[in-house]
Amino acid sequence: MPSRRASRAAAHDTPLSTRGEGLGVRALRHSLLALYCAICLALPVQAESIKVMVQSSPLAGFQFYAGRELWDEIKVGDALVLVREPGNPHDAHAVRVEWRGRKLGYLPRAENRAVSAEMDRGGKVEARIARLNRHLDPWKRIQVEVFVVL
């Protein structure tokens, strides 16, 4: 069995160690870092947006709209479109949920005020399918996540 001193010496002689590294490895690291910086500087600057999840709710009305018909096509993570319906006779704060132009249902009445207010003031709001569940209760079939984009 090699001594501790021999093991340490062997560890320091490896080309990728940070101690006692040769000039070739150090130069390679600097070259790679310079290449990385050059690539990053050459890329176009893109404004990053921040998405904050403000709501996670079951989809209301699944059984009344296209949900059953589209069940085999929709997937977790699919983008949803939220459409304000201020003239809805059942709910002045109604927010319709659509998938590829087809109505799936609504955000629940008890949970739609903050999202409808954000939409009314012109804020950017996005949504996606968070969970799909083949449950007998239509309120437990689709979970929707809503995000405000900052």
Pairing of strands 102-106, 94-99: antiparallel
Are 95 and 108 within 8 A, CB to CB?
Answer: no
Q: Which domains does the chain have, with CATH numbers?
A: 4-42 (no CATH), 51-149 (3.30.70.2330)
pTM score, whole prediction: 0.67
> Does the structure show a pLDDT above 70 at 88?
yes
Average pLDDT over residues 139-143: 90
Mean pLDDT of the 94-120 span: 96
